[in-house]
Structure 1
Amino acid sequence: MQSTHQQETPVENQKTGFKREINLFDAIMIVTGGMIGSGIFIVTADISRQVISPGYMLLVWAISGFLTIVGAISYGELSSMFPKVGGQYVYLKEAFNKMVAFLYGWTLFLVIQTGIIAAVGVAFARFTGVLIPWFSESNVLLNIGSFEFTSVQLLAIFITIFLTYVNSRGVKEGKLIQNIFGSTKLIALFGLIIFGLLFGINDTAVQANFTDFWGASGSETAVPTGTMLISALAMAMVGALFSSDAWNNIGFAGDEIVNPKRNIVLSMVLGTVLVTVIYLLINLVYLLVLPIHGLDSATGSMALGIANAENDRVATAVAEIIGGPGATIAIAILIMVSTFGCINGAVLSGARVYYAIAKDGLFFPKMASLNKSGVPAFALWMQCIWACILCISGKYGDLLDYVIFAVMLFYILTIIGVFVLRIRRPDLPRPYKAFGYPILPALYIVLASGICVVLLIEKPAFTWPGLIIVSLGIPVYYIFRNKFKQHKDSE
């Protein structure tokens, strides 16, 4: 096997121009580093407010983790069949058609990937402000009418430009940053879990949370039941699912991965399992340290609890109780490391999709070019420019809310693609077949579709604009298809 791989790699590189320099460890760091951003440190507060009970809060994270892992093992079949640059774009094109694939790429560029880069960049800048107070949203550098440009936006833009420059130098540089910050992040998170379990257990919080585990646990609001509970769980799951998102990004770099038919699926599965375990353990620590709804007889973070933590910063409140005020700085540094790695992973992977779209003649032709380092530099810088505009506009948060529904639709469509290709193209080589097929992929489709239906009913202000953003891609597809000539791969 090894000799065959060594003979095939140069030929593949000559065809694509990409360099196969991402090994299994690198791929796992890209998966975990892209998944773990700022969400795990804050979204538990909102989840707790929606489902009320400690039991249902943990259940939300468990179901979200299950869906993420099932998504990964289902995508694995597609990634082993089409281990090419572009990942999900390629899977949708092969299962359906170019227009469906373009709609995904269009939404990815317009909102998803660039919006994540912008939003996580701002999160990085906000927590930098804990160490350097000059970086604050109250520090307005430019004020024109209702428009304000703050030092937080400035740092977010600088980080985006810096990481784009690093990744434009070659995939080695990009993966080095991902490996350093990804491994540091994982070590620190496990350290937080171990420290919390050994030294942070608070008897008062344990009694408040675990005596009435599936009940209101001191909340004045009753735990929802029946259809109300189903709706609450579905809406709460949005935050948990997006804290676990970006696990599929490793597929975008298919032509740069060593032994991609094996390592893409392996990194997705190992990465999602690892992150799911970390998320469940961290939330368990939260419940062992802080009462979910606070205590009237207490003060500070204990009085506020998880659901009402100041600015939703649950991790900061927990760290302060365990280690005192100085622990706030440690958590700020951890979140800076976490968000820095998350931004780098998003920058590295996203440009590969735009490259694939341009190769099909559906995007600006220059995006289909590689620089001397074998990376799509023009696509990287176009992504950077748009992400910076989202930072400046201040509208990226709204855009991310609008596209949540659309992102889930594309996940569902892609997994439906597993069934479509089994029927239409049964003879295609499948180095890896989806574990649990057809039950697990079908279960994902049913559960994810159920969440989408609930969101359509309960959050129309966010779901319908998401559909509009996707739908706008249809006329753009036909305009671009006619405008840009097909560019053939060099052979």
Structure 2
Amino acid sequence: MRRKGRGEADGSAAQLSETTEMKLRLKREIGLPSAVSLIAGTMIGSGIFMSPEWVLRNIGSPAGSLIIWAACGLLATFGALSYAELGTIIKESGGEYIYILRNFGSLPAFLFAYTSVIVVRPAGVAAISLSFAEYAVAPFYPGCSSPQAAVKCTAAACILLLTLVNCLSVRLATSIMNIFTGAKLLALLVIVIGGAVLLVNGQTQSFQNAFQNTRLGAGAIGVAFYQGLWSFDGWNNLNYVTEEIKKPEVNLPRAMMIAIPLVTCFYLLVNVSYFAAMTPSELLSSGAVAITWGNKVLGNSAWLISLSVALSTFGSAHGTFFSGGRMCYTAAREGHMPDILSMAHVRRLTPSPALIFTSAISLIMVIPGSFNRIVNLFSFTAWLFYGTTIAGLLYLKIKKPELPRSYKVPIIIPIIVLVTSVYLVLAPIIDQPQTEFLYVILFILSGVIFYFPLVRYQYHPAFLRRFTLHLQLLLEVAPAEKNLN
């Protein structure tokens, strides 16, 4: 079996894959409960425990913060419904990458894959792992800040553990996801109930003159959205594993319509609970909002919040890692990444080379990582490509309405998402220009340098083919075909 844009395999590699290539494929292991868990479990991570401070810092008022959180939930829901239609038209794994490839061609898809595989997905895993490490290490250093060396070593250990779990078994990975999703929903429920008790007892001072000090600048709103949307990131994760979902034409839209409104309601109630326990100035000086809330409300049992946040962020990192590896795998299968990344383990049927590669880049990013900076750069890049993907859906709805699809979203919804995406990309650049945004754009465009020799003209050095062969034998992997049945 030969793929367009790939070099010839050497003799031993051909022998290794000869008996497996025609039948090796990732299994459909993800049912509706696991699909809901993958979305909710990835979305509920570090964001709801860290981003409220940054949303408030940028927008200025409690009421403005709640409006931003509600708008982020609505936007994530609209985006997910649009992606659900794309997933029932293009039934391939890979998320934005595969949709951009099918709608706009090879070069834009390669630029997305290049940026996502090397920066966006590993940055997401690194940021969430750093959040996990902060909360996991904090109990060992009461009354003082945790040493950065301990935090970063813990984050690295988290990434290595995720790599091991995901390489061993898809079923094991989804089971762990289900357990952690249940745990984090329980933790949020504790915060919601605690907030309700505070409100009943009359602690409503944060909601008096709730719109005071609200900032309405385009850039301030855009950056506040970045921080809020970071907490909703993961709404599109199911589209990265379409080929592993049971009955995707049914379960893809259904899982999105269950998971995202559920998470949005929890987020709003948790933010109300934070404001019930703390004044805006206390929240801004908190540093770890959930821990401050726990100290004020739970007293000696505040350690439960640290444990809950650590579990929550680990589960979110797990979901981000799970889907990120699939994106890398799909891009390699289409010839936009090295061949070895398109292969799956011959017995475990997991895309282990892509997972290992994602892990390696994430570990590198942990070393100089800063949570707030990673979030802003991640969000800017992500919404640039989300907008491109939604434009592809509008193209299909207008130009190819005859394509079979089991689910259709009203056209006004992707239009709203597209307009919002343009705003989120341009507003911070115009109102609060930062050199980091320029660096991101230059990095994306630098992909052109690699595209023409490696993809367009298919230059594959002999030493790279030999290296691929040795890795293939070492990792016991072989090329896998698409699972579109």
What is the TM-score when the length of structure 2 is the normalising length? 0.86
Query: 1:340-392 CA deviation, whole Å, 9 max, x = no partner?
Result: 10111112111111111111111110111110211111111111111111113
Change (3 A) 1:382 1:488: closer
Match of 1:243 among 200, 209, 231: 231
Aligned to 2:16: none
Query: 1:111-134 CA deviation, whole Å, 9 max, x = no partner?
Result: 111111112112111111133349
Aligned to 1:20: 28
- The reply to whether residue 383 of structure 1 matches residue 391 of structure 2 is no
Match of 2:398 among 423, 446, 452: 423
The answer on whether the counterparts of 2:132 and 2:314 sit within 8 Å (CA) in structure 1 is yes
Change (3 A) 1:453 1:394: closer
**Partners of 2:75 and 2:428 in 1: CA distance:** 17
Change (3 A) 1:467 1:15: farther
- The reply to whether residue 85 of structure 1 matches residue 59 of structure 2 is no
Superposition deviation, residue 201 in structure 1: 5.2
SS at match of 1:272: helix
**Partners of 1:399 and 1:39 in 2: CA distance:** 12
Aligned to 1:151: 150
Worse-superposed segment, 363-372 or 473-482? 473-482
Aligned to 1:287: 275
Change (3 A) 1:328 1:454: same
Counterpart amino acid of 1:477? Answer: Y
SS at match of 1:370: strand
Aligned to 1:483: 459
Superposition deviation, residue 199 in structure 1: 4.7
Superposition deviation, residue 139 in structure 1: 4.1
Change (3 A) 1:306 1:427: same
Provide the identity percentage.
Answer: 29
Aligned to 1:193: 192
Please provide the CA RMSD for this pair.
2.4
- The reply to whether residue 308 of structure 1 matches residue 282 of structure 2 is no
Aligned to 2:172: 173
SS at match of 1:483: coil
The answer on whether the counterparts of 1:55 and 1:213 sit within 8 Å (CA) in structure 2 is yes
Aligned to 2:474: none
Where does 1:204-215 land on structure 2 (aligned, <5 Å)? 205-206=203-204, 208-215=205-212
Aligned to 1:145: none
Query: 1:373-428 CA deviation, whole Å, 9 max, x = no partner?
Result: 11111111111111111113446864553343221111111111111112333221
Aligned to 2:469: none
Where does 1:41-440 land on structure 2 (aligned, <5 Å)? 41-133=49-141, 139=147, 150-199=149-198, 203=202, 205-206=203-204, 208-216=205-213, 223-225=214-216, 228=217, 230-293=218-281, 305-309=282-286, 311=287, 313-324=288-299, 326-371=300-345, 372-394=347-369, 398-434=373-409, 437-440=410-413
**Partners of 1:246 and 1:292 in 2: CA distance:** 28
**Partners of 2:192 and 2:459 in 1: CA distance:** 54
**Partners of 2:64 and 2:181 in 1: CA distance:** 30
The answer on whether the counterparts of 2:64 and 2:211 sit within 8 Å (CA) in structure 1 is yes
**Partners of 2:392 and 2:64 in 1: CA distance:** 32
Counterpart amino acid of 1:214? Answer: F
Aligned to 1:300: none
The answer on whether the counterparts of 1:364 and 1:484 sit within 8 Å (CA) in structure 2 is no
Change (3 A) 1:412 1:169: same
Counterpart amino acid of 1:108? Answer: S
Counterpart amino acid of 1:323? Answer: L
**Partners of 1:387 and 1:251 in 2: CA distance:** 22
Counterpart amino acid of 1:265? Answer: P
SS at match of 2:284: coil
The answer on whether the counterparts of 1:362 and 1:484 sit within 8 Å (CA) in structure 2 is no
Superposition deviation, residue 240 in structure 1: 0.1
Match of 2:417 among 433, 436, 444: 444
Change (3 A) 1:265 1:185: same
Query: 1:143-196 CA deviation, whole Å, 9 max, x = no partner?
Result: xxxxxxx12211111111111111101100110110111111112212221232
Match of 2:447 among 473, 481, 489: 473
Counterpart amino acid of 2:134? Answer: R
Change (3 A) 1:479 1:459: farther
**Partners of 1:14 and 1:198 in 2: CA distance:** 60
**Partners of 2:371 and 2:48 in 1: CA distance:** 19
Change (3 A) 1:347 1:137: farther
Counterpart amino acid of 2:128? Answer: V
- The reply to whether residue 458 of structure 1 matches residue 431 of structure 2 is yes
Worse-superposed segment, 400-409 or 169-178? 400-409
**Partners of 2:220 and 2:364 in 1: CA distance:** 34
The answer on whether the counterparts of 1:403 and 1:463 sit within 8 Å (CA) in structure 2 is no
SS at match of 1:253: helix
The answer on whether the counterparts of 1:72 and 1:248 sit within 8 Å (CA) in structure 2 is yes
Which structure has the higher relative contact order (CA within 8 Å, separation 6+)? 2
Aligned to 2:10: none
**Partners of 1:138 and 1:64 in 2: CA distance:** 32
- Number of residue pairs the alignment of both structures matches: 442
Superposition deviation, residue 231 in structure 1: 3.5
Superposition deviation, residue 62 in structure 1: 1.0
Superposition deviation, residue 30 in structure 1: 0.7
